[in-house]
Amino acid sequence: MPYLHSRQGAAAVETAEHTGLNTGNQNSGDSQRVTRDLPRKDSDSRPLRIVHLLAPAPYGGLERVVRSLSLEQAGAGHEVHVAAVLDAGAADHPLLQAVSAGGVRTSVIPVGGREYLRERALVRQLLTDIRPDVVHTHGYRTDVLHGSVARSLKIPVVTTVHGFTGGGWKNRFYESLQIGAFRRADAVVVVSHPLRARLNSRRVPDQKIHCIPNAWADPIPFLDRHEARAELGIPDNVWCAGFIGRLGREKGPDIFADAIGKLKSSGPGEISGLMIGGGVMQAEIAALPVASGPEATLRLAGAIEDAGRLIRAFDALVLSSRTEGTPMVLFEAMAAGVPIVATRVGGIPDVVTPNEAVLVPPEDSVELSEALRQVRDHPGKASERANRAAERLATAYGADRWREAYDSVYRRVVQERHP
pLDDT of amino acid 16: 28
As a whole number of angstroms, the distance between CA 251 and CA 328 comes to 13
103, exposed or middle or buried, with CB in 10 Å at 0-12, 13-18, 19+? middle
Strand, coil or helix: 325? coil
Per DSSP, which regions of 264-339 are E strands?
Answer: 271-276, 298-302, 316-319
- Closest by Cα among 228, 250, 256 to 338: 228
317-346 burial code (b ≥16 CB/10 A, e <16): bbbbbbbbbbbbbbbbbbbbebbbbbbebb
Long-range contacts of 286-290 (CB under 8 A, 24+ apart): 288/254, 288/257, 288/261, 289/261, 290/257, 290/258, 290/260, 290/261, 290/264
- Closest by Cα among 57, 49, 127, 45 to 85: 57
pLDDT of amino acid 20: 35
pLDDT of amino acid 417: 86
Q: What is the mean pLDDT of each run of 10 residues along the chain (419 residues)?
A: 52 31 35 33 77 91 92 96 92 92 94 89 97 96 96 97 75 87 96 91 95 87 96 94 94 96 65 92 94 88 93 98 91 97 94 97 97 96 97 91 96 91
- Closest by Cα among 35, 148, 145, 140 to 81: 35
| Contact (Cβ atoms closer than 8 angstroms) between residue 73 and residue 47 | no
What is the sign, positive or negative, of the torsion defined by CA atoms of 279, 137, 410, 197?
Answer: positive
Same fold, 4-34+44-217+399-417 and 225-396: yes
Reported pTM: 0.77
User: Domain 225-396: what homologous superfamily?
Assistant: Glycogen Phosphorylase B; (3.40.50.2000)
Fold of the CATH domain 4-34+44-217+399-417: Rossmann fold (3.40.50)
pLDDT of amino acid 34: 31
pLDDT of amino acid 27: 35
| Contact (Cβ atoms closer than 8 angstroms) between residue 15 and residue 3 | yes
Task: Give the CB-side neighbour count of residue 39, counting CA atoms within 13 A.
Answer: 3
DSSP 6: E
Task: Indicate the domain borders of the chain.
Answer: 4-34+44-217+399-417, 225-396
- Closest by Cα among 143, 126, 138 to 49: 126
Distance of CA 193 to the CA centre of its chain: 17
Helices 328-336 and 61-75 cross at an angle (nearest 10°) of: 70
- Closest by Cα among 119, 128, 129 to 8: 129
pLDDT of amino acid 294: 79
Residue type for position 335: A
Q: How many CB atoms lie within 10 A of CB 74?
A: 21
pLDDT of amino acid 270: 65
pLDDT of amino acid 35: 30
